């Protein structure tokens, strides 16, 4: 593990602290600054926004629009917030939403109708291997069934979806199997299981702790940072299955240094605050099996029916993950903590659906705050201004590109075999690497072929 040790004071692993970088390259702070310029008539054209600002605006408009609000999502291409509204008598609220800078779209299904459909699915089709989440881009419920849902179970699910009515839901089949991503092996260890550390936090009593997946927390009480090593943390709270998949693990040594950062291998990304996810938002995941991967948020408030039981309130994405990545950190380019890896289907070769526990919900439930920021609660961190000056982490845009080549991501730091054992196979390098980018602060991440994302 790439974390230093201090005599008499064990230094905690950085959040998601793992091994080799995966195929994705992270886009670091300042690469997507907000642009406030545009026509003086705010109603004439939607504003260009960063994803974090779009999330804040969506929350405000949801309250203002009331029953007319039918969900929202972030259009990454246009960098705009799209807000769904159900036409009604009060057109003034729609005018106000446009003046606020949103791209307003009229749709057929209200949030009440969509949530009602989800309630019907829960009562009539809670079948292991299924999931559903409201997709604001289609204004429908996205229902997914994995490869185990066949025969009578498939017929029951299909009949329930059809019973919701035309235009209410879509039904898709996944080639994989929904499962939690826990494995025997690397990163944080407990009871023969391997998971990934999500984010370091400060517990409600002021002691250092970290968040990970709840199904890791219920698997065993004590966790170590080395296979067969001495325990460094003890589970304080864990939820799984049920209303979430999260656990708070307190470090046994109260003098533990627990930095609020994600370890990317040869560099770290500072985590400034927790934030709500937005559909369409680009996110990054770090885990002990597959390293760094990226993708988009597909749905919110997702329900997943794992073999172990039903979990609600999750974030659905297309970011890949594999066994051992459970509990790992989901975050944004500018250092916002978004989620903890729960489970899903597929792998990082063929892809698949993945689900994450929202960090804001976990922090509120366990009474913790991110890193050493004991002054701010989860609610304060979930929105508003970014931490650390203009953007969390500071610094100018970071270059990958040609200058980002460097050491291969294989070697001793390789991502290893999922079943556990050593920290990684020596031939696990996939051509990705880390190196010096073109930024003022000299940091950057990119692939050896020059494909690293740049500011």
SS (H, E, C) the chain: CCCCCECCECECCCECCCCCCCCCCCCCCCCCCCECCCCCCCCCCCCECCHHHHHHHHHHHHHHHHHHEEEEEEECCCCEEEEEECCCCCCHHHHHHHHCCCEEEECCCCHHHHHHHHHHHHHHCCCCCEEEEEECCCCEEEEEECCCCCHHHHHHHHHHHHHCCCCCEEEEECCCCCEECCECCCCEEECCEEECCCEEEECCCCCEEEEECHHHHCCCCEEECCCCCCCCEEEEEEECCECCCEEEEEECCCCCECCCEEECCCCEEECCEECCCCCCCEEEEEECCCEEEEEEEEEEEEEEEECCEEEEEEEEECCCCCCCCCCCEEECCCCEEEEEEEEECCECCCECCEEEEEHHHHHHHHCCEECCCCCCCHHHHCCCCCCCCCCCCCCCCCCCHHHHCCEECCHHHCCCCCCCCCCCCCCCCCCEEECCCCCCCCCCEEECCCCCCCC
Task: Kindly state the average pLDDT of the residues 417-437.
Answer: 35
| 259: pLDDT strictly greater than 50 | yes
Task: Check if the beta carbon of residue 116 is closer than 8 Å to that of residue 144.
Answer: no
How much is the pLDDT for 448?
32
Q: Is the separation of the CB atoms in 183 and 421 below 8 Å?
A: no
- Asked if 289 contacts 418 with a C-beta cutoff of 8 angstroms, the reply is yes
Q: Measured between alpha carbons, how far is 316 from 430 in angstroms, rounded to an integer?
A: 27
d(CA 313, CA 279) in angstroms, rounded, equals 14
CA distance 333 to 8: 34
Two structure tokens written together for 446? 């990119």
How confident is the model over 56-70, as a mean pLDDT? 90
Annotated catalytic residue 3: no
pLDDT-based confidence at residue 450 (cuts at 50, 70, 90): very low
The more confidently predicted of residues 147 and 454 is: 147
Instruction: Compute CA distances 178 → 30, 78, 305, whole Å.
Output: 36, 33, 8
**38-47, 130-139, 360-369: which has the minimum mean pLDDT?**
38-47
Phi, psi dihedrals of residue 120, rounded to the nearest 5°? -65, -40
Band (228; pLDDT cuts 50, 70, 90) = confident
396 is catalytic: no
Tell me: pLDDT of 109 over 70: yes
Count the neighbouring beta carbons within 10 Å of the beta carbon of residue 326: 33
What would the pLDDT profile of 362-418 be if each residue is shown by its tens digit? Answer: 999 999 998 544 433 333 433 333 333 333 333 333 333 333 333 333 333 333 333
Residue 327, both tokens: 């509990």
Q: Which listed residue (55, 196, 326, 345) is catalytic?
A: 326
Structure tokens at 386: 């970014």
Beta carbons of 361 and 337 less than 8 angstroms apart:
no
Q: How many Å apart are CA 219 and CA 356, to the nearest integer?
A: 18
Instruction: Report the candidate in 159, 161, 103, 168 with the shortest Cα–Cα distance to residue 134.
Output: 168
Q: Which of 53, 72, 215, 334 is catalytic?
A: 215
Catalytic residue of the set 186, 225, 245, 430? 245
For the ranges 231-245, 253-267, 403-417, the maximum mean pLDDT occurs at 231-245
Instruction: State residue 171's pLDDT score.
Output: 97
**Number of neighbours of residue 129 by Cβ within 10 angstroms:** 24
* pLDDT recorded at residue 392: 36
Tell me if 132 sits within 8 A of 303, measured CB to CB.
yes
Using omega within 30 degrees of 0 as the cis cutoff, is the peptide bond preceding 241 cis? yes
State yes or no: is 108 an active-site residue.
Answer: no
Map tokens 């072929």 to a residue: 449
Q: Cα(367)–Cα(361) distance, rounded to whole angstroms?
A: 10
Q: Are 214 and 239 in contact (CB under 8 A)?
A: yes
- Nearest residue to 5 via CA among 232, 189, 275: 232
Cβ count within 10 A of residue 440: 9
pLDDT in tens, 327-354: 999 999 999 999 999 999 989 999 889 9
Range 279-300 average pLDDT: 95
Q: By the 8 A CB rule, do 272 and 12 touch? A: no
Q: What percent of the chain has pLDDT over 70?
A: 70
């Amino acid at each position: 593990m790439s974390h230093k040790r201090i005599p008499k004071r064990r230094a905690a692993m950085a959040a998601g602290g793992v091994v080799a970088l995966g195929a994705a390259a992270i886009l670091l702070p300042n690469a997507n600054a907000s642009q406030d310029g545009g026509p003086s008539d705010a109603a004439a054209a939607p504003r260009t926004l960063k994803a974090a600002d779009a999330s804040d605006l969506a929350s405000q408009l949801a309250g203002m629009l009331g029953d007319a609000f039918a969900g929202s999502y972030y259009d990454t291409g246009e960098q705009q917030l799209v807000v769904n509204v159900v036409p009604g008598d009060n057109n003034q609220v729609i005018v106000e939403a446009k003046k606020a800078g949103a791209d307003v779209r009229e749709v057929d299904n209200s949030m009440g109708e969509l949530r009602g459909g989800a309630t019907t699915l829960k009562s009539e089709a809670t079948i292991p291997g299924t999931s559903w989440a409201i997709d604001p881009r289609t204004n429908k419920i996205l229902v997914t069934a994995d490869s185990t849902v066949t025969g009578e179970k498939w017929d029951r699910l299909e009949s329930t979806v059809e019973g919701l009515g035309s235009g209410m839901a879509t039904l898709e089949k996944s080639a994989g199997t929904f499962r939690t991503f826990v494995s025997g092996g690397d990163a944080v260890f407990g009871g023969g299981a391997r998971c990934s550390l999500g984010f370091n936090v400060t517990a409600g009593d002021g002691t250092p702790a970290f968040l990970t997946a709840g199904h890791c927390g219920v698997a065993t009480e004590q966790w170590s940072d080395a296979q067969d090593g001495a325990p460094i943390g003890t589970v304080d709270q864990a939820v799984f299955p049920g209303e979430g998949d999260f656990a708070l693990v307190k470090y046994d040594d109260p003098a533990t240094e627990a930095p609020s950062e994600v370890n990317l291998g040869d560099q770290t990304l500072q985590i400034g605050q927790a934030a709500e996810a937005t559909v369409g938002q680009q996110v990054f995941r770090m885990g002990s099996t597959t390293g760094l991967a990226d993708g988009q948020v597909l749905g919110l408030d997702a329900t997943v029916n794992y073999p172990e039981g039903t979990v609600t309130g999750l974030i659905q994405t297309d970011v890949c993950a594999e066994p051992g990545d459970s509990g790992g950190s989901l975050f944004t380019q500018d250092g916002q903590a978004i989620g903890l890896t729960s489970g899903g289907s597929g792998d990082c070769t063929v892809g698949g659906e993945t689900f994450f526990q929202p960090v804001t919900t976990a922090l509120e439930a366990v009474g913790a705050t991110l890193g050493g920021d004991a002054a701010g609660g989860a609610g304060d961190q979930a929105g508003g201004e970014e931490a650390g000056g203009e953007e969390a982490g500071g610094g100018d845009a970071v270059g990958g590109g040609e200058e980002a080549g460097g050491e291969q991501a294989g070697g001793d730091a390789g991502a290893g075999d999922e079943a556990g054992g050593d920290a990684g196979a020596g031939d696990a390098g996939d051509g990705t690497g880390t190196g010096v980018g073109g930024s003022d602060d000299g940091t950057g991440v990119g692939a050896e072929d020059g494909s690293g994302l740049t500011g």
